[in-house]
Structure 1
Amino acid sequence: MTTLRQQQKQRTRGALLTAARRLFVERGYAAVTVDDITTEVGCSRATFYLHFSGKPDVLRRIGAETVQQRAVSVYADLDEVLASGSRAEFAEWLRRAVDWFERNRDILPVWDEAVALEPSFRPIATEAVAELPAAMPRYLERWGQDRDDEARLRVGLLVTQLERFFTRWAVQGTLDTGETDPAVTLTDIWYPALLPPEQRHSTESD
């Protein structure tokens, strides 16, 4: 049973995370200071540092839930889709993946800014991407232990292209897809790329 003091600490921590996220989204990562966050909540810097080691740690905690959600709900889903052997299901998965980016579009630029500005944040971002193949055990098994690095790299490249595609297409508006369904084109590129070579000509095509 949590004590009143523990409940207060949890509320303060939650308030700091909520304030930090809102300020990061409104102003950008670099423009926000620890003092800005504590002023928003009405607590001291000392209280802030009881919960977090600094701005990178705050953003890491904000992003942890988002990244964990992506691993569980998006890439575990991809593991199921690839096991089905269906190109049509893969195209539907891509649409769901783009929906995930849309739901999280406010915090993703903050994450990218922190990666560019904070050397201490780069290992956190690297680990976040590296964790995604761990949600895809059947995919890794099909590639085999001797090609594990290649299998993981392919997932990392997929993540990178999807992030860049979404940024240019939906955020910046610098990529015009016209009447083309981008999920179909991305399926042509990525569905075969995620299959081991010996399976590319034997899977269902629909």
Structure 2
Amino acid sequence: MAGPDSLREQKRTFTRSRLVAAAREVIERKGYASATVDDIAAAAGASRATFYLHFANKDSAVAEIVAEVGRYAVERYRALDELLTSARPDRRDQLRAWLADWLEYWRGTADLQHALSTAVSINREIERQMLDISSVTLIEQLEGFLGAQPSSERARIKDRAIILETMTSNVFAQASRDLMPATDDAVVDYLTETWEALFLAR
């Protein structure tokens, strides 16, 4: 049987998770700049005081959302590493499918991604957190692929991968909000060619 401390910790974890989910819902709906602590607390069915028991301010709740998004992206890039290090004859088709699924994820989270990009432009800590995920953490998940490259080339390939991932994120951000004049298929086709040149032509 769980003791009082264990139950208290479970309740605390549940409340914190509810607040993070509410923060995500609110910033998706209202945007980062317009969302307030009161909005988040109300959406979670909690008081303002309860919010401040868990987070110092709105930005610390948003940082938790960024961490959640980052964890999902890490899993995506681990799957990419498995693909890149496989001997499958259809790796190019699988790479295209991976990119298409990634764009679909961006489309499904377009409002959240836009809100987070606004947060990045306003808050330097969130900007650092996002940059660390996109330019370091994700590419580090390609350890199998990078480890198979000649040691003399590894740093250069890693730098190119970081640039490519950053470019792809920017393209997906625009495409997911219908700001890209090209169709999704055209976007994915072009990106497949670009990613193939770096990751498969070796």
TM-score (norm: length of structure 1): 0.81
Deviations 1:106-135 (A, max 9, x none): 311111111001112111111211111221
Deviations 1:70-89 (A, max 9, x none): 111x2112212222363222
The question of whether the paired residues in 2 share the 8 Å contact of 1:133 and 1:140 is answered with no
Are positions 1:168 and 2:171 aligned together?
no
Aligned-pair distance for 1:42?
Answer: 4.5
Aligned-pair distance for 1:194?
Answer: 3.1
Instruction: Kindly report which structure 2 residues correspond to 1:79-90, keeping only aligned pairs within 5 A, or say none.
Output: 79-84=81-86, 86-90=91-95
Map of 1:19 onto structure 2: 22
The question of whether the paired residues in 1 share the 8 Å contact of 2:103 and 2:176 is answered with no
Deviations 1:48-85 (A, max 9, x none): 2321232222112122222111111x211221222236
Runs of at least 5 residues in structure 1 that lack an aligned partner in the other structure:
none
Runs of at least 5 residues in structure 2 that lack an aligned partner in the other structure:
none
Q: Aligned partners of 1:47, 1:147: CA distance in 2, in Å?
A: 52
Q: Aligned partners of 2:71, 2:158: CA distance in 1, in Å?
A: 17
TM-score (norm: length of structure 2): 0.82
Change in CA separation of 1:23 and 1:137 when aligned onto 2, cut-off 3 Å: same
The question of whether the paired residues in 1 share the 8 Å contact of 2:24 and 2:65 is answered with yes
Map of 2:144 onto structure 1: 138
Change in CA separation of 1:35 and 1:133 when aligned onto 2, cut-off 3 Å: same
Query: Quick one: which amino acid aligns to residue 4 of structure 1?
Result: L
Q: 2:11 aligns with which of 5, 8, 12?
A: 8
Deviations 1:116-170 (A, max 9, x none): 0111211111121111122111122133444444333222222222222223223
Are positions 1:105 and 2:107 aligned together?
no
Change in CA separation of 1:181 and 1:12 when aligned onto 2, cut-off 3 Å: same
Q: Aligned partners of 1:88, 1:39: CA distance in 2, in Å?
A: 46
Change in CA separation of 1:50 and 1:148 when aligned onto 2, cut-off 3 Å: farther
Query: Quick one: which amino acid aligns to residue 93 of structure 1?
Result: W
Question: Share of identical aligned residues, percent?
Answer: 28
Task: Decide which moves more: 145-154 or 94-103.
Answer: 145-154
Q: CA RMSD, aligned part only?
A: 2.4
Are positions 1:151 and 2:153 aligned together?
no
Deviations 1:12-51 (A, max 9, x none): 2122112211110111111112232223335444432321
Partner secondary structure for residue 132 of structure 1? helix
Task: Decide which moves more: 146-155 or 108-117.
Answer: 146-155
Map of 2:72 onto structure 1: 69
Query: How many correspondences in the alignment?
Result: 195
Partner secondary structure for residue 106 of structure 1? helix
Q: 1:53 aligns with which of 53, 56, 60?
A: 56
Aligned-pair distance for 1:182?
Answer: 3.1
Query: Quick one: which amino acid aligns to residue 156 of structure 2?
Result: E
The question of whether the paired residues in 1 share the 8 Å contact of 2:66 and 2:130 is answered with no
The question of whether the paired residues in 2 share the 8 Å contact of 1:154 and 1:194 is answered with no
Map of 2:192 onto structure 1: 187
Aligned-pair distance for 1:9?
Answer: 1.6
